[in-house]
Chain A
């Protein structure tokens, strides 16, 4: 731990000297996060289908099919809805999430079997999402306010920024995020460090596609857990930015409708 701090401080010193505008690494980190947010601003709403493949150490796999709807909001965090298409026994189950810039997110789940909407205890969002290697917090909207930032280094087009979660219940001590500054600050890779500051998972983004000449969306998310050797792959279909979703598509009523 000490050594890492020492190491990063050396890098920081070198960078401080070399970077002409002598801003602090914290400022620069935040600036990059904001730039990334800005680059993706204005997409409005999107719908995408995705296939989630869970793989264990032995290569046994299990699949789930989902549809995600997202509504961009600027005053507060985005709203999103995830509907399960398969496995059969959870078909129609849907989650509705209101991300908040400050404080815990709100989340509801619609259970078609009992035709009821249940609120999900919002204290815990560090657990795995439907048995996958993604935690709920990895999938939710990445609001700038949820992390403290520290710029680490620049490697060609890549900018590496350390992000420390503000939420004390997060499963991570920090994440190291790689932005691609020439491709609209899209994410290339995220490394997750667990509570004992050991590398836990790596998320790689690939098969990027640019929509509307502006918005970069990865076709594949690959999350590898280095400690359990399990893996989860998300394969996204074509993004639909033309659905023009509105606030009324993200209500409890809409949640029930989406599920049935």
Chain B
């Protein structure tokens, strides 16, 4: 007991000395902190990276497999420009001319390596005994009506075009621009391509208002990521406004508000410096850092300021005395809550999604700085600013009655409340487990985002945006011409076509069939893979010699002609369906094809589908560590092992309740939400700390019994808890308006969790404390007996 008192006195003395020092040297302290913030800020650099690759760590096996496939063939990103002529028919002379024009313009896209359109499709036909390969519609301006009819017929019969470049009705068509980004600086390359594409499209629309134009593809996806980062960064302004208003209402003091503003801005500026020093590029998940820092940092200042103003207004202390007293009372709680928040955010590093590492580290650093500025800049500024003692006791503590009543209500029926709470939590925990992962990157953007609207249109009217790719090997150089390989590949192609979710299949066997047919005078009965290796190889040679610039087969067969690429386009599918489809495809090859043909299904879509699961697996460890560390901090802070352990219940329960309610609201969770446990743990633990410490203080220092101590805790911290919860809710509600689902879902569930935490801390925690204290009395007596026996 003495030792405990000593440490307590020591911390009190430390806080007092700190406060005295800061107040004495208020000008130098202020100047130094300004220099620190500005110094860090001067290193600041905010760069954005929209490349979808940022979501995958370098060791991510799916990314490795996908990169390997791209290295083997061509590494490409694409822009799909979809044209829907208002007359509903692509195949009219003016429309074909316009498409040819746009195709030609698309070749000028920076880094473009290939442009596929209905007009430049390399149509193969037999002319006499010769193979004729040519654009499906070249120089459309000089085509006759009959020729255009013929083109329409050919196009709508072409398996490579239908559902990929043109829809079955011939009313919507796509131009697929493949770009090969050097990948040296995606933060510059992607905007370059986007600007050029947008410019090209707006020029086209000006000249051809008879078309509706939609764009999707990987480059627009990257752009959408890029732009949503910038948009979410703008939410900071809204939050800043809320901070000012909330601080003004709570403190009713313009100087206090100003000082708070200084603290949060300095924290953000420092965080920006941290970003620059570490060369972090902002991504949608990490771009919300200012709002998070604002939300979390403002609580520190508010605690210190409210106590300070109370001491001045209510207890009539002098400015300096009040400041020192406020610092003495708040130093430890602010330190502990900052520490737990930092621990919570640092655990994001355990995950497998780099943008969340950045978010965790930036916010953790920001919170450290917020603690520093709240305990230096804030008191220094308040010491400098004058304090107007006005209208004494203008506030009747009317609310205390409300909190006391709540305390009385809980104290009367702890057993019943515990049982009800546990049943509710139990049911919601059961429901929480029923949530399923779904990371559909198109749905990361809500319907207010152009990219989402366009992608949805394209999905409904032309083709799918989701795909899976496989590199199917033959096991020998030149083996793709082996008839056994070709016929097996053809079987695989047919099997894929039969799958319900498949929109389109692009396999080399189709090329082999098509060329074989044309080599036999366009005889439909030869629309099958050649049955002789030399024939197949030589037809392929002939076909390849007939292809123009940029429309070669290098994106489909490797240099050694030992492997070919199968691209499957799919309908929009949930993550679980995507993964199931990929596994089914791999299994088909394993069951039906020789070993050399076994392949891994890869694609960006699939990588995102697996992201949530990977993140959840890797975060599990982080979450457990966070829970252990934070519980330890609590045990030390409360100087009570048992209550530290007990605190796990009110700290874990809100997350379970949150996900249980989420199941009822939505049912699907994404990668962004996986981080919520570690993150919110550090935040909601504050409620528990404040409540328990006041409870213990009443028991230890004031000698209250458990019930009276609970009521005391309600009276002293009830309002503060509600206040900080409101600030936190405001911050996360602002974030939940993000159009980017990784952020908005994360913010929404955080709102639920924070709210649940408050309710649990007001209902379940006090009930448990009473129940446990009863046992404690018994334990105490037994331990006393034990001690006597030992003696």
Instruction: Report which A residues bind B (CB closer than 8 A).
Output: 54-58, 60-62, 84, 87-90, 93, 95, 107, 109, 111-114, 116, 118-121, 123-131, 135-136, 169-171, 194-196, 198, 227-228, 230
A–B Cβ pairs within 8 angstroms, 17 of them? A62-B560, A89-B534, A89-B537, A90-B537, A93-B538, A109-B542, A111-B538, A111-B542, A118-B130, A121-B546, A124-B122, A128-B554, A135-B549, A171-B550, A195-B107, A196-B109, A230-B554
Given A118-B131, A196-B107, A62 and B477 contact (CB-CB distance below 8 Å): yes
Please name all residues of chain A whose beta carbon is closer than 8 Å to the beta carbon of B74 when the two chains form the complex. 228
How distant is the Cα of A64 from the Cα of B138 in the complex, in angstroms? 33
Q: Beyond the given A61-B560, A195-B107, please list 8 additional residue pairs across the A-B interface where CB-CB is below 8 A.
A: A118-B542, A121-B130, A121-B132, A127-B547, A128-B554, A130-B544, A131-B557, A171-B550
Interface string of B164-203 (1 = CB under 8 A from A): 0000000000000000100000000000000000000000
| A128 in contact with B552 (CB, 8 Å) | yes
By the criterion CB–CB under 8 Å, are A114 and B535 in contact?
Answer: yes
Question: Within the complex, what minimum Cβ distance (angstroms) separates B742 from chain A?
Answer: 32
Is the CB–CB distance between B542 and A124 below 8 Å?
no
- Which of chain B's residues have a CB closer than 8 A to the CB of A107? 545
Interchain CA distance A112-B532 in the complex, whole Å: 12
A109 near B545: Cβ-Cβ < 8 Å: yes
| Contact (Cβ within 8 A) A228 B180 | yes
Question: Taking the complex as formed, is B517 at the interface, i.e. its CB lies under 8 A from any CB of chain A?
Answer: no
Answer whether A126 and B535 are a contact pair too, CB < 8 Å, given A58-B71, A60-B558, A121-B133.
Answer: no
Rounded to whole angstroms, the CA-CA distance of A58 and B560 in the bound complex is 12
Residues of A contacting B497 in the complex (Cβ-Cβ under 8 angstroms): none
Residues 121-137 of B at the A interface (beta carbon under 8 Å): 122, 129-135
For the complex, give the distance between the alpha carbons of A126 and B551 in Å: 10
- The chain A residue with its CB closest to the CB of B478 is A87
| B519 CB contacts on chain A under 8 angstroms | 114, 118
- Complex Cα distance A113/B138, Å? 32
Q: Give the docked Cα–Cα distance between A97 and B545 (Å).
A: 12
**What separation, in Å, do the CA atoms of A93 and B113 have in the docked complex?**
29
A87-B477 contact in complex given A120-B542, A131-B557, C-beta closer than 8 Å: yes
- Among residues of A, the one whose C-beta sits closest to the C-beta of B126 is A118
CA–CA, A113 and B534, complex, Å:
6
| Chain B nearest Cβ from A255, distance in angstroms | 13
B553 at the interface (CB under 8 A from A): yes
**Chain A residue contacts of B134, Cβ below 8 A:** 121, 123-124
Taken residue by residue from 89 to 111, chain B's Cβ proximity to chain A (1 for < 8 Å, 0 otherwise) reads as 00000000000000000011111
Contact indicator A169/B548 (Cβ below 8 Å): yes
B481 at the interface (CB under 8 A from A): yes
Which listed residue, B122, B478, B559, touches A60 by the CB 8 Å rule?
B559
Distance A60 CA – B560 CA, assembled complex (angstroms): 8
Report Cα–Cα, A125/B477, bound state, in Å.
26
Residue on A with the closest CB to B110?
Answer: A196
Residues of A contacting B: mostly: loop
Which single member of B108, B544, B552, B559 contacts A62 (CB below 8 Å)?
B559
- Which residue among A60, A124, A136, A230 has the maximum number of chain B CB atoms within 10 Å of its CB? A124
**Judging by beta carbons under 8 Å apart, are A119 and B547 in contact?**
no
Q: A87-B477, A227-B111 are in contact. Are A171 and B559 (CB under 8 A)?
A: no
Which residues of A are found within 8 Å of B548, using beta-carbon distances?
123-127, 169, 171
B539 at the interface (CB under 8 A from A): yes
A-B pair number, CB within 8 angstroms: 141
Q: Across the interface, do B538 and A56 meet the contact criterion of CB distance under 8 Å?
A: no
Chain A residues positioned under 8 Å from B546 (CB to CB)? 120-121, 124, 127
B72 on the interface (CB 8 Å rule)?
yes
Residues on B with C-beta less than 8 A from A118 are 129-131, 519, 542
Within the assembled complex, what's the spacing in Å between the Cα atoms of A157 and B69? 45
CA distance in complex: A87, B108 (Å): 37
Shortest distance between the CB of B288 and any CB in chain A (Å) = 36
CA distance A107 to B481 in the complex (A): 24
Knowing A62-B561, A112-B538, A228-B180, say if A128 contacts B544 (CB, 8 Å): yes
Please tell me which one of the listed residues A90, A196, A228 contacts residue B541 in the complex, with CB atoms under 8 A apart.
Answer: A90
Instruction: Say yes or no: B108 contacts A195, CB within 8 Å.
Output: yes
B561 — which chain A residues lie within 8 A by C-beta? 62, 87, 131
Cα(A254)–Cα(B477), bound, Å: 30
Contacts of B138 in A (CB 8 A): 123
B113, closest chain A residue (CB): A227
How many chain B residues touch the partner (CB < 8 A)? 51
Q: Is A54's CB under 8 angstroms from B129's CB?
A: no
| B557 to A, closest residue via Cβ | A131
Question: B445-485 vs A: 1/0 string, CB under 8 Å?
Answer: 00000000000000000000000000000000110010000
Tell whether, in the assembled complex, residue B541 and residue A93 are in contact, meaning their CB atoms are under 8 Å apart. yes
Residue of A nearest to B539 (CB): A111
Contact of B545 among A57, A113, A136, A194 (CB under 8 A): A136
Contact B558 A56 (CB under 8 A): yes
Measured between alpha carbons, how far is A126 from B134 in the docked complex, in Å? 12
CB of A106, distance to nearest CB on chain B (Å): 12
Closest 3 CB pairs of A and B: A171-B549, A126-B549, A89-B537
* Chain A residue contacts of B132, Cβ below 8 A: 121
Contact call B545/A89, Cβ cutoff below 8 A: no
B545 touches A198 (CB 8 A): no
Q: Write the B472-507 contact mask toward A (1 if CB under 8 angstroms, else 0).
A: 000001100100000000000000000000000000
Which A residues lie within 8 Å of B549 (CB)?
126-127, 135, 170-171, 194-195
Given A131-B554, A227-B111, does the pair A58, B129 have CB atoms closer than 8 Å?
Answer: no
Smallest CB–CB gap between B541 and chain A, Å? 5
* B117 CB → nearest A CB, Å: 14
| CA distance in complex: A95, B537 (Å) | 15
Is there an interface contact between A130 and B541, defined as CB atoms closer than 8 Å?
A: yes
Tell me if B152 is interfacial: C-beta within 8 Å of chain A.
Answer: no
**B280–chain A nearest beta-carbon distance, Å:** 28
When the two chains form their complex, are residues A196 and B478 in contact, meaning their CB atoms are under 8 A apart?
no
**B540 CB to nearest A CB, Å:** 8
Measured in the bound complex, the distance between the Cα atoms of B135 and A135 in whole Å is 18
Name A56's contact: one of B131, B541, B559 (CB within 8 Å): B559
Q: Is the C-beta of B341 less than 8 angstroms from some C-beta in chain A?
A: no
Chain A residues near B133: list those with CB within 8 A: 121, 124
Taking CB atoms, residues of chain B closer than 8 Å to A62 are 477, 559-561
Check: B533 CB closer than 8 A to any chain A CB: yes
B233-270 contact mask (Cβ, 8 Å, vs A): 1 or 0: 00000000000000000000000000000000000000
A90 to B535, CA, bound (A): 8
Residues on A with C-beta less than 8 A from B539 are: 111
B532: chain A residues within 8 A (beta carbon): 113
Which residues of the partner chain A approach B536 to less than 8 Å between Cβ atoms?
89
Residues of B within 8 A of A123 (CB): 134-135, 138, 548
Q: Which residue of the partner chain A has the closest CB to B533? A: A89
Instruction: Report chain A residues within 8 Å CB of B107.
Output: 195-196
Complex Cα gap A90–B113 (Å): 28
A193 to B112, CA, bound (A): 13
A131:B553 contact, CB within 8 angstroms: yes
CB distance from A88 to the nearest CB of B (A): 7
Task: Note all chain B residues with C-beta closer than 8 A to A84.
Answer: 541
| Residues of chain B within 8 A of A198, CB atoms compared | 110-111
B64: shortest Cβ distance to chain A, in Å?
Answer: 13
Q: Which residues of A contact B544 (CB under 8 A)?
A: 127-128, 130-131
Smallest CB–CB gap between A190 and chain B, Å?
Answer: 16
Check A120 against B560 for contact (C-beta < 8 Å). Answer: no
Q: Are A129 and B560 in contact (CB under 8 A)?
A: no
- Residues in A with CB closer than 8 Å to B545 are 95, 107, 109, 120, 127, 129-130, 136
Name the residue of chain B whose CB is nearest to the CB of A87: B478
A124 to B135, alpha carbons, bound, how many Å? 9
Tell me the bound Cα distance from A118 to B543 in angstroms. Answer: 11
Chain A residues with CB under 8 A of B135: 123
Shortest Cβ distance from residue A56 to the other chain B in the assembled complex, whole angstroms: 5
- In the complex, the chain B residue whose C-beta lies closest to that of A197 is B108
- Expressed in whole angstroms, the Cα–Cα distance for A95 and B545 within the complex equals 10
The chain B residue with its CB closest to the CB of A196 is B108
Closest to A135 in B: B549
Q: How far is the CB of A248 from chain B (nearest CB, A)?
A: 23
